[in-house]
Amino acid sequence: MLQIQNLYKVFNKNTVNENKIFSGLNLSVNEGEFITIIGSNGAGKSTLLNMIAGTIPADDGSIVLQDNEITKLAEYKCNKFIGRVFQDPSKGTSPSMNILENMSMAYNKGKKFGLGFGVDKKNIPYFKKILSSLELGLEDKLYTQVGLLSGGQRQALSLIMTAMANPKLLLLDEHTAALDPKTSEKIIEITKNIVHEKGITTLMVTHNLNHAIKLGNRLIMFHQGEIILDVSGEEKRQFTINKLLKCFENNKEEDLISDRALFS
């Protein structure tokens, strides 16, 4: 479904601040997989998602999504078939527009339309049904400006809006990191339900080891631009945080697991 071959990326090349992220990275993702991604700071997790989405260009290598070469595709073109939810809840919605207007934009994504109204009131029952599944009371706030919602409500709305477009690939970049623990767990539950119901191929970057182990059917760990752990299926289901830490107890380099991850 997603094939990444021989991927290279260097920031600030040929300067004293040169930072080599990837040196021939290879990754194969099967359709329908839900992959959680962990790793040390600067390991390349978010950079990989940005390169897949067309936000950051690759220096060399190939990124192929469903037999379509997207390595050099502009970000706005990638957005037609890739959905993203960011760490910052404000990035996935338009704060000056209300919930109904935001959902109408998401509903119309990729569709052809003329000079008619962007908001079709016939869709309101459908939108309310989707929002009610979140159990956040948003179905009763359709005319509330999104900028007035809490961070958790906005992130939940971002997830719903992203899923409405039926993306081929969903990229989640630490999408619960800015939320309090209770809200974070709610967003994780919503994430799990959406991915399961839609069957969306998903890559989720997280610093929360519990989330990384509990969610998805495959876990990948990055360090210095390389994949140093890749477990899936029954092996992943048997994984625990203690097993994860034991994989690196003899490592002499900097800590692979940060305090932030351990105590999330």
- Burial of 153 from C-beta contacts in 10 A (0-12 / 13-18 / 19+): buried
> Residue 263 has what pLDDT?
42
pLDDT at res. 116? 46
pLDDT of 151 reads 92
pLDDT at 118: 64
Give pLDDT, residue 257.
Answer: 56
- Picking from 155, 152, 164, 163, the residue whose alpha carbon sits closest to that of residue 92 is 155
Distance CA 233, CA 219 (A): 9
Mean pLDDT by 10 residues, the chain (264 residues): 96 90 96 94 92 95 95 92 91 92 86 59 92 92 95 94 93 93 92 93 94 94 91 91 72 50 47
Q: What is the per-residue pLDDT for 256?
A: 55
Task: Give kind and range of the element (H or E) at residue 219.
Answer: strand 218-223
* Cα 147 → chain centroid: 22
- Output the pLDDT for position 261: 52
Q: What is the DSSP letter of 26?
A: E
CB 44 within 8 Å of CB 222: yes
CATH for 2-81+167-262?
A: 3.40.50.300
Sign of the torsion angle spanned by Cα atoms 216, 221, 227, 229 = negative
Q: What is the pLDDT of residue 51?
A: 96
Note the pTM of the prediction, 2 decimals.
0.90
